[in-house]
């Protein structure tokens, strides 16, 4: 089965660019979305309730902002949308679908740059990372967990095209990268890098100007993390840069069916 993550940069806009065609032809079984930027009732019916799919949403309180979702061919046994802290929950950044012992979380990690690009939201971002980490640590005791999403952090120099000029930019700050290192030290694996350890030029986000995507001047900030025990199920980890419709492209894993 395929578990895929995609920051759609507005689901209503992405729907006009072929989202449903992607959903129905890509072979995906579970799809986690980030940056939905719509309340469920604002979505077209065929996007809200596609034939053959179960759709679950966690919108932000603020209109047109953030929001995550999970589409699955099989109905989830349980859905969680709260981290137990209103400061995080109001932004609609977290949803978990449980399928038996397996869990899939779709997470939209915050940017740290802040509205004035002064890195003022880095403390909030790191606190959010910690709260998500605490929740998924408890889940891994029950079965395989796949944490998919836009992590808004490039972990290593190989994960962005211009590391030297971005060292003071949120998304490549030492403290942000250290958080992903901490996850790995606790037994979580970046599934794509585990499968492709030394391959450069694999990115999942590009700026929308200056021909960045065409020149492949991008960042790999979208990940699927899984605990080491779940890695034995992972047959492949991939990035689909040819899929258009957003400034991000889908990333995912193919796993042995649980």
Catalytic residues: 150
Residue 100, CA distances (Å) to 3, 44, 97, 139, 258 in order: 15, 30, 10, 12, 9
Rounded Cα distance between 26 and 42, Å, is 25
Between helix 122-139 and helix 174-185 the angle, nearest 10°, is 10
> What 3-state DSSP class applies to 11?
helix
Q: What DSSP letter does each residue of 135-171 carry, written as one string?
A: HHHHHTTTS-EEEEEE-----SGGGBS-SGGGTTSTT
Rounded Cα distance between 93 and 65, Å, is 10
Q: Are 171 and 219 in contact (CB under 8 A)?
A: yes
> Which residues, at least 6 apart from 109, have a Cβ–Cβ distance to it below 8 Å?
93, 125, 128, 129, 132, 149, 150, 151, 152, 153
Q: What DSSP letter does each residue of 64-123 carry, written as one string?
A: TS--EEEEESSPPSEEE---S-HHHHTT--EEEEEETTEEEEEEEPPPSSTTTTSSTTHH
**CA-based angle 214:219:221, to the nearest 5?**
135
């Amino acid at each position: 089965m395929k578990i895929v993550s995609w920051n759609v940069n507005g689901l209503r806009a992405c729907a006009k660019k072929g989202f449903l065609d992607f959903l129905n032809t890509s072979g995906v079984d579970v799809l986690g979305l980030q940056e939905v930027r719509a309340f469920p009732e604002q979505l077209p019916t065929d996007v809200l309730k596609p034939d053959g799919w179960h759709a679950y949403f966690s919108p932000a309180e603020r209109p047109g902002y953030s929001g995550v979702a999970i589409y699955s061919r099989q109905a989830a046994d349980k859905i969680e949308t709260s981290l137990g802290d209103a400061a995080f929950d109001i932004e609609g950044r977290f949803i978990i679908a449980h399928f038996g012992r397996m869990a899939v979380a779709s997470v939209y990690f915050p940017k740290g740059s802040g509205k004035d690009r002064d890195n003022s939201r880095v403390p909030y971002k790191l606190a959010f990372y910690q709260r998500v980490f605490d929740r998924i640590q408890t889940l891994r005791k029950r079965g395989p967990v796949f944490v998919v999403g836009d992590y808004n952090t490039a972990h290593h120099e190989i994960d962005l095209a211009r590391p030297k000029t971005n060292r003071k930019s949120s998304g490549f700050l030492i403290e942000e990268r250290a958080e992903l290192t901490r996850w790995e030290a606790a037994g979580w694996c970046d599934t794509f890098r585990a499968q492709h350890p030394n391959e450069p030029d694999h990115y999942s986000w590009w700026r929308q100007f200056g021909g960045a995507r065409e020149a492949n001047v991008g960042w790999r900030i979208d990940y699927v993390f899984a605990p080491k025990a779940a890695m034995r199920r992972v047959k492949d980890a991939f990035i689909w840069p040819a899929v258009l419709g957003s400034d991000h492209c889908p990333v995912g894993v193919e796993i042995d069916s649980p």
